Amino acid sequence: MMKKTLILMIVPVALATTAQAQSSVTLYGLIDAGFSYTNNAGGSHQYQMAAGNLQGDRWGLRGNEDLGGGLKAVFVLESGFNVFNGKLAQGGAGFGRQAFVGLSSNQYGTVTIGRQYDSFQDYVWMYEAANQFAPYYAAHPGDLDNLNGGNRINNAIKFNSVSYGGFTFGGLYSLGGIAGDFNRNQLWSVGANYTQGPLSAGVAFERAQDPNYSLYGTTPSASTTASNMTGSRVYSGYASAKRQQTFIAGATYKIGAATVGAVYSNIQFQEIGALPGLPATGAGGDAKFHNAEINFRYQVSPAFLAGIAYNYTKGYGVNDAHYHQAVVGVDYLLSKRTDVYADVIGQHASGTDSTGRPAVANLAFTTASTTANQVVAVVGIRHKF
């Protein structure tokens, strides 16, 4: 009788242990906090506590369940926040950074559905300085190519392949969610990447219908009638564009402790004036941008990284704005999970911007300068958990 009792007690424990080995849930996140100085923000010097400089503050849950035969169920729930006031980021969304579920195959790749990053974040984000050693202020003017990942995509279905000898590819499609109008507010993107030895290269393309809503208006606080493209004078005058089309290509090459990189993007706001009631500078035409960046980073020691980058943005079509931008930064690891950093970013503008007025400097995610020049300096600490 005693042996039978022991067997009945042991079996459930063994089954629970087996189930635990076949699935997992991980809590993760990071806190990035610092201090920044802007020489001209709306005409004044600005000193402020700055959150999420190198990476946005976040916490999340990531999990998977082994379904057998090389197939897994996967999910991610990731929430952004401001460490200085505790407020939710991404317009107050509970899981505004990412929220998706799907299936992953060891043989083919992963299919997920939910709120997700586009193909730029899967295949070309790593070539921009602002995603390496520099803060988000160093994103391309206005982050108009979304390479810094400021805009997530709702109602998205995504596929990312496994690696085939260093080559990966995939795509995303977002349903517009408008009854009776299949094309309205839809968005799709595709991309590919190749990494082998010291070389890494990637390309991606995205087409967003009604970008004011499908790309820039994807948070709970977004408007369904007014402009959601007020964040930067670089593009705020083009909110009425019927579509936004973006192509990005980039590469890096490692030479010992040094890495040299370059990234090019072409952004087009097409058929300006097609969406009524929204800013329409250059109505009837297309506003286009060439954007090119070169960057260099050097691993001075296992703990110390230094980098420098230069970016040039040229407007054409109905737009003739020009932006020269440079950044220099250093990052020092105190441990595997904690580092400190310091960066200086500067921008010079000329021509006429999207508002139809003389272009002023407007570094990404800042209040526009009242002159052609703007400089931001930032120092901070980042901890990952």
N residues, the chain = 385
Greatest alpha-carbon span in the chain: 91
Rounded Cα distance between 40 and 370, Å, is: 7
Rounded Cα distance between 296 and 125, Å, is: 16
* Number of folded domains that form the chain: 1
**Helix (H) or strand (E) run with residue 105 in it:** strand 98-105
pTM: 0.92
The residue whose two tokens read 């408007």 is 223
Backbone angles phi, psi at 238, to 5 degrees: -110, 25
Question: pLDDT per residue over 90-123, tens digit each?
Answer: 999 999 999 999 999 999 999 999 999 999 999 9
In 3D space, the residue among 150, 158, 74 whose CA is nearest the CA of residue 115 turns out to be 158
Q: Classify residue 4: in a domain, yes or no.
A: no
Backbone angles phi, psi at 291, to 5 degrees: -135, 125
Torsion region of 377: left, alpha or beta (phi above 0 gives left; psi -120 to 50 gives alpha): beta
Q: Classify residue 291: in a domain, yes or no.
A: yes
The residue whose two tokens read 């300068």 is 369
Q: Classify residue 193: in a domain, yes or no.
A: yes
Q: Are 189 and 206 in contact (CB under 8 A)?
A: yes
* CATH for 129: 2.40.160.10
Q: Classify residue 1: in a domain, yes or no.
A: no
Other beta carbons less than 10 A from residue 111's beta carbon:
15
Query: In Å, what is the CA distance from 89 to each residue of 46, 83, 138, 213, 229?
Result: 22, 10, 20, 18, 17
Q: Classify residue 3: in a domain, yes or no.
A: no
Q: Are 273 and 255 in contact (CB under 8 A)?
A: no
The residue whose two tokens read 């670089």 is 234
Q: Are 107 and 71 in contact (CB under 8 A)?
A: no
Q: Are 265 and 244 in contact (CB under 8 A)?
A: no
In 3D space, the residue among 347, 279, 278, 335 whose CA is nearest the CA of residue 303 turns out to be 335
Residuewise pLDDT in 10s, the chain (385 residues): 434 443 444 444 444 444 444 899 999 999 999 999 999 999 999 999 999 999 999 999 999 999 999 999 999 999 999 999 999 999 999 999 999 999 999 999 999 999 999 999 999 999 999 999 999 999 999 999 999 999 999 999 999 999 999 999 999 999 987 777 778 999 999 999 999 999 999 999 999 999 999 999 999 999 999 999 999 999 999 999 999 999 999 999 999 999 999 999 999 999 999 999 999 999 999 999 999 999 999 999 999 999 999 999 999 999 999 999 999 999 999 999 999 999 999 999 999 999 999 999 999 999 999 999 999 999 999 999 9
Beta bridge partners of 115: 99
Q: Classify residue 208: in a domain, yes or no.
A: yes
- Residue 285's Cβ-count burial label (10 Å; 0-12, 13-18, 19+) is middle
Q: Within 13 A of 123's CA, how many CA atoms are on the CB side?
A: 30
Torsion region of 228: left, alpha or beta (phi above 0 gives left; psi -120 to 50 gives alpha): alpha
Q: Classify residue 157: in a domain, yes or no.
A: yes
The domain in which residue 31 lies consists of: 25-384
State whether residue 270 is helix, strand or coil.
strand
Torsion region of 140: left, alpha or beta (phi above 0 gives left; psi -120 to 50 gives alpha): beta
Q: Are 122 and 86 in contact (CB under 8 A)?
A: no
Rounded Cα distance between 88 and 155, Å, is: 21
Q: Classify residue 357: in a domain, yes or no.
A: yes
Q: What is the DSSP string of 106-122?
A: TTTEEEEEEEE--HHHH
